[in-house]
Amino acid sequence: MSDLNYWEPRSLLDAVSLLANLGDQVRPLAGGTDLLVKMKKGPINWKGIVNLKSLTELKGINKKGETIMIGALTQISSLLENPLVQIHFPVLVDAARSLGTPQVRNLATIGGNLCNASPAADVALVLLMYEASLLITGPNGSRKVPVQAFYVGPGQTVLQQGELLTAIEMALPPLNSKGVFYKHGKRKSHEIALVNVAVLLTPQPGTKQIARARIAVGSVASTQLRIKDAEDYLTDSLATLSVFEQAAKLAKEAVDPIDDVRSTASYRKQMVGVLTRRALVEAWGGDL
């Protein structure tokens, strides 16, 4: 660690040109709660870090028309306190609350949770469920990527050399939408998910018909997944227990987990079914 070079650019332009010139030799640093852990575990194959902390233009939460923009350097703790997020994206608040401890949440950023590309990431899973778009700036300009197209594999994203994630954009969901986030781990708190599930249901006002359904699951494939088959099945269906059970079955069939030190694949698959059913019932909330 002591031999590492260190840069602290003052503007996005400077950060991007530094990263583009230094290439694979360096890594951007946001809150450091993933990167510093990786560096301490070692070995690492880079020679310096570019600390993003002075890029104030990458911090903050603002409403722009019918969308919300969240700067990539916004801390996870800020999501918990923000009234816009609380009103329009309550499931994001639940996921943020489940991430680490207060000390970790004060350092960790929303952008870091996405760019670390862990299949178990909690906040990133809910951003997938809310169909976020990611704003990226690099040496060749800016581009927008839907979050479902951001991941290439575990720990890998579509970010090219010199590119930084700058902001997350989300359309405000209909106000009658109701969502739920479940994180299943071995402990009640301070735990990385064995399986996490996020759902959002939008009823047709005044009816039992489901106008829109979103389901995302994590820790059960090489990247986080939207369960399109189950979403399509739910859309326009009447909300009943058997409909939610069938959607949960489709979710279970769609995932492809692996055995690892924390859980078996078959347990994870089973839990996708259990948690999806439970989340749909809780999100609907009314009589079934």
Ligand X SMILES: Cc1cc2nc3c(=O)[nH]c(=O)nc-3n(C[C@H](O)[C@H](O)[C@H](O)COP(=O)(O)OP(=O)(O)OC[C@H]3O[C@@H](n4cnc5c(N)ncnc54)[C@H](O)[C@@H]3O)c2cc1C
User: How many chain residues interact with ligand X (CB under 6 A)?
Assistant: 30
Stretch that binds ligand X, among 84-92, 101-109, 235-243, 280-288 (CB under 6 A): 101-109
Out of 32, 48, 60, 139, which residue is the one contacting ligand X (CB under 6 A)?
Answer: 32
x/- string (CB under 6 A) for ligand X, residues 136-175?
-----------------------x----xx----------
Q: In what order do the strands lie in the sheet with 210-218?
A: 178-184, 195-203, 210-218, 225-226
The token pair at 266 is 């078959």
273 binds ligand X (CB under 6 A): no
Nearest to ligand X of 160, 176 (CB atom): 160
Q: For the chain, where are the E strands, in sequence order?
A: 5-7, 26-29, 48-51, 61-64, 67-71, 133-138, 141-146, 151-153, 156-157, 164-171, 178-184, 195-203, 210-218, 225-226
> Rounded to the nearest whole angstrom, what is the least distance from the CB of residue 181 to ligand X in the complex?
11
Out of 9, 16, 22, 34, which residue is the one contacting ligand X (CB under 6 A)?
Answer: 34
Pairwise CA distance, residues 280 & 231, whole Å: 11
- Cα 41 to Cα 1, 35, 38, 192, 265, distances in angstroms: 11, 10, 5, 18, 26
> Rounded to the nearest whole angstrom, what is the least distance from the CB of residue 248 to ligand X in the complex?
23
Residue numbers of the site for ligand X (CB under 6 A)? 27-35, 37, 72, 76, 98-100, 104, 107-109, 111-113, 115-116, 121-122, 159, 164-165, 192
